[in-house]
Amino acid sequence: AEVDAIDMARLRLAIREQGKVRLAYRDEAGAVTERVIWPISVGYFDTVRIIAAWCELRADFRHFRTDRVVEAAFLEARYTRPRPQLWGEWKRAWLDRGPRRELAGARTSTAASN
C-alpha cells in the first residue's frame, strides 16, 4: 500500500464540514501544480486512496491520489454547494464520462469509488 501524504483525519473533517483544501499535487509525470479542491469523498483503488473533489483550477471534478499530495493546507473557507448536491453531480459526471475509460488508466493515474 502507498503511504498517504495528507492528514486523513483532517481530510475527513474537511469533507464533513465542507471545507476547502489547498493542495500541491504531483501528477503521474512528476509535475507539481497547486490547486484548491472541495473534497467530497475518499475512495480506494488497488493500493491507493483517492480523493474525489471539485477542482477550482479545472472547474470540474477530479480525483487525487493521497500518496501524490506534496502539501495540503486546510482552509477556513467553505464550499458553497451542499456536499450531497456535489456528490450527485460527481456521480452523474462519473457515469457520463464512462468509468471504465477512466479506470483503465487508474493504476498509473487516478480513479475513485465510494
The tens digit of pLDDT for each residue in 42-71 reads 999 888 899 999 999 999 999 999 999 999
With respect to residue 114, please indicate whether it lies within any of the assigned structural domains. no
Q: Tell me the CATH number at 53.
A: 2.30.30
Q: Which amino acid is at 29?
A: A
Answer whether residue 3 is part of any domain.
Answer: no
- pTM score: 0.81
Largest CA distance in the chain: 36
- In a domain? residue 92: yes
* Domain count along the chain: 1
Is 110 a member of any domain?
Answer: no
pLDDT confidence of residue 46? 84
Would 21 be classed as within a structural domain? yes
Give me the domain span that covers residue 36.
Answer: 8-104
Nearest to residue 17, comparing CAs of 77, 60, 63, 64? 77
Does residue 113 lie in a domain region?
no
Report the b/e string of 2-13 with b at 16+ CB within 10 A: eeebbeeeebee
